[in-house]
Amino acid sequence: MALNLKLSTLGVVLLLLSACTTAPPKNINNVCHIYDEYYDWFLASDEVYKRWQVPQHVTMAFIHQESKFVGDARPPWQWFMWIIPLGRPSSAFGYAQALDGTWEEYMRQTGNWGADRDDFEDAVDFIGWYNHKSLIRNKINPHDAYSLYLAYHEGQGGFSRGTYKNKPWLLKVAKKVERRSRFYQQQLQGCRAELEDDRYWRSIFGKNETKSVDFHS
């Protein structure tokens, strides 16, 4: 009887936790729609720009590529002969698909010890932190989403050694991130003023609709 009660309680807790998970935006291809649905994401990515000098359209393009805005995203399991599970290819997790070791380094260097990879605010700050390292070490322009993504994937040392040059698949992905970044930048030109004008009221009372240029992938 006691065991059944404990199992029932555990089930309720797990159900509540799953209900608290933030669902991906309804239209991940339009950054204005994303910010309209989750205005706190606009505020978070704006803080990243102020703190790390990484533009919002670059940060959001990274999130789109890494997780499609799924907070608990992980790499898929690998299988041998479609039968024997081999585990996941890496420890990547969350919006930014940050690895265990890199996330620990981020927490240590920023002092953000309570950071969670499935928390959007923490994830975008991580992306800003890492890309800022690329700006400093590899002298990459903050608007250069293509080079920033290559450094994000290969690491600072790998980027400086050019390890990405022998990975044509990665170059294609980086080009995709670059295209997404440009589209997001174009969309933001049509809604940024309204987002800024409504900053006070939206933070208190919720969202309003914003005008935007649609983008279909």
Which pLDDT belongs to residue 83?
A: 57
User: Is 80 exceeded by the pLDDT of residue 13?
Assistant: no
CA atoms within 13 A on the CB side of 54: 28
| Angstrom distance (rounded) from CA 148 to CA 59 | 10
Exposure string of 53-84, with b = 16+ CB inside 10 Å and e = fewer, is: ebbbbbbbbbbbbbbebbbebeeeeeeeeeee
Q: What does the mean pLDDT of the chain come to?
A: 84
How large is the average pLDDT for residues 56-60?
98
Which pLDDT belongs to residue 198?
A: 79
Is the overall model pTM greater than 0.85, yes or no? no
In one-letter notation, the amino acid at residue 174 is A
Asked whether 102 and 130 are in contact (CB, 8 A), the reply is: yes
Tens digit of each residue's pLDDT (9 = 90 or more) over 75-109: 654 444 455 454 444 578 999 999 999 999 999 99
User: Is 60 exceeded by the pLDDT of residue 213?
Assistant: no
Angle between helical axes of 120-137 and 56-67 (0-180°, round to 10): 110
Could you count the other beta carbons within 10 Å of the beta carbon of residue 93? 22
Domain parsing of the chain, residue ranges: 27-205
| Angstrom distance (rounded) from CA 201 to CA 182 | 29
Which pLDDT belongs to residue 47?
A: 97
**Assigned CATH topology for domain 27-205:** Lysozyme (1.10.530)
- Residue 22 has what DSSP assignment? P
User: Is 90 exceeded by the pLDDT of residue 199?
Assistant: no
Which pLDDT belongs to residue 206?
A: 58
User: Is 90 exceeded by the pLDDT of residue 136?
Assistant: yes
DSSP string, 37-103: H-HHHHHHHHHHHHHH---HHHHHHHHHHHHTT-TT--PPPEEETTTEEEE-SS--BTTTTB-HHHH
Which pLDDT belongs to residue 178?
A: 98
| Angstrom distance (rounded) from CA 49 to CA 157 | 24
Of the pLDDT bands very low, low, confident and very high (cuts 50, 70, 90), residue 46 is: very high
